[in-house]
Amino acid sequence: MVERVARSQVAGVGARGWRGLALIGAWIVAGLVPLLGAGDDLLTLLFRICLFVALAQSWNILAGFTGQTSLGHAAFFGIGALVARTLWLGGMPFPVAFALGGLAATAFAMIIGIPTFRLRGAYFAIGTLGVAEVLRITVAQGMPLITSLSPAEIASYSMATRYQLALGLAIVTSVVALLARRSPLGLGLLAVREDEEAARASGVNVLAHKLLALALCSFFAGLAGGAFAYQQVSYYPAAPFGPLWTFDAVLIAYVGGLGTIAGPIIGALFFIVVQERLALSFEQGQQMIFGALFILVVLVFPGGLIEGWNRLYRLLPARFGARQAAKHLQGRDE
C-alpha cells in the first residue's frame, strides 16, 4: 500500500512537471509568433486566447481558491476598460492609463466587497450579478456614444503590440496565481474555501483573505479590460460590462479545471479554438452545439480538462506496467 501511494505521488509530481515544462514552452513559442511574420488574423485570435486566460485566471483566484462564486466579474473588466480608454484617449500615456484602470477596478471591488461578503452561497452570486447589471445599465444610459480612436492612433495601430500586451498579462496573472496558491496566503484561501467556520476557529482572518483574493481578482480583471479597450478601434463603452464577459470566464475556468493554475489556460485555448471552428463550420445552431459540447466535457470530466489529462497520465503507465508484468509471468511459466 505504501509503495502504491508513493508511486501515485511520484506520478502526480511527474504530471505537474511535464505540465509546467509544456506551459513554459508554449509561452516561449507564443512570444515568438509576432517575430515569425504572423498576420493580424492570427494575432487577433491569439490576443483573444490570452485575454481570456487573464480573465478566467483572475476569476479563478476568487472562486477557485477561495470558493466565492462571483457573477459580477464583468463589472471589474468594464471599469478597467472604461478608465483606461478614457484616460488614454484623453492624452495620458497608455501604460499609466492601463495601470490606473486596474487600480480603479480594485477600488470599486473594495467598496462593494465588505457588504457583498456578508452574503453566502447563491445569495453572494446573485448579489454580485446585480451590482454588475446596475453598473452596466448606468454606463449605457450615461455614455451611449461609440468611442473611436483618432486618425493618428489608427495610422500607428499595431496588432502585434496589442497581442504582446495580452500575452504578458496572461503570463503575469498566471504567475501571480501560482505564487498565491503556493504561499501561506494560499493555504488560508483554501481553508476558507473548504470551511469558513473551521478556518475562523483555527485563526484565519476570513474577511481579510476574501478581500485580498477579491483585490487580486479585480485588479487583473481590470487590466484585462484595459487590454481589451486598447485593442478595439471603436466600441460602445457599455459593451465590456455585458454579462457574457463573466459567464465566459466562468465556463473557461470550469471546463479547464477550477482551482488549478493550468485549467484557465487550457480552458481558454479550448474555448476560443472550438468557438472559432464552430463559427466557420456551422452558420446556424453553433451556440447550441457549443453549449452541448461544454456540458458533455463537464459531465465526463467534473474536474475539467486537467482531470482528463491526469487520468490519461495515470492510465498509460499503469497499463504499460501491467503489460510488462504479464510478459514477466509468461516468461516464468515457460
The domain ranges of the chain are 19-325
Please give the CATH architecture assigned to the domain spanning 19-325.
Orthogonal Bundle (1.10)
| Ranges assigned E (strand) in 150-275 | 234-235
pLDDT attached to residue 11: 45
Q: What is the pLDDT at residue 321?
A: 52
Residue among 64, 78, 49, 110 at smallest CA distance from 250: 64
**What is the per-residue pLDDT for 330?**
52
For residue 185, the model assigns a pLDDT of 85
- SS3 label, residue 39: coil
List pLDDT tens digits, range 154-174: 888 889 999 999 999 999 999
Report whether pLDDT(96) > 90: yes
The pTM for the full model equals: 0.84
Q: Which of 181, 168, 182, 204 is nearest to 61 (CA)?
A: 181
Q: Give the pLDDT score at 122.
A: 83
* 313 vs 293 pLDDT, higher one: 293
329 pLDDT higher than 60: no
Cα–Cα distance measured from residue 117 to residue 215, given in angstroms and rounded to the nearest whole number:
13
- Tell whether the model's pLDDT for residue 300 goes beyond 60: yes
Q: Which range, 100-109, 125-134, 317-326, is most confident? A: 100-109
CA–CA separation, 281 and 4 (whole Å): 47
Of 75-89, 146-160, 235-249, the least confident: 146-160
- As a whole-number percent, the residues of the chain with pLDDT over 90 amount to 40
> Is 209 strand, coil or helix?
helix
Q: What is the pLDDT of residue 16?
A: 56
DSSP-derived secondary structure letter, 148: E
| Assigned C-alpha cell, 304 | 475539467
> At which residue does the C-alpha cell 453598473 appear?
135
pLDDT at residue 147 tops 90: no
Taking CA atoms, 123 is separated from 24, 76, 117, 198, in Å, by 39, 19, 10, 21
pLDDT of 2: 34
pLDDT interval class at 17 (50, 70, 90): low
pLDDT reported for residue 215: 95
Q: Which helix (H) or strand (E) holds 144?
A: none
Identify the pLDDT of residue 12: 45
Q: Measuring CA to CA, which residue among 59, 56, 124 is closest to residue 264?
A: 56
Mean pLDDT along residues 195-223: 92
Average model confidence (pLDDT) for the chain? 83
pLDDT in tens, 42-80: 899 999 999 999 999 999 999 999 999 889 999 999 999
Span 13-37, average pLDDT: 63
Q: Determine which of 16-30, 81-95, 193-207 has the lowest per-residue pLDDT on average.
A: 16-30
Question: What pLDDT is attached to residue 13?
Answer: 45
Q: Is 3 helix (H, G, I), strand (E, B) or coil?
A: helix
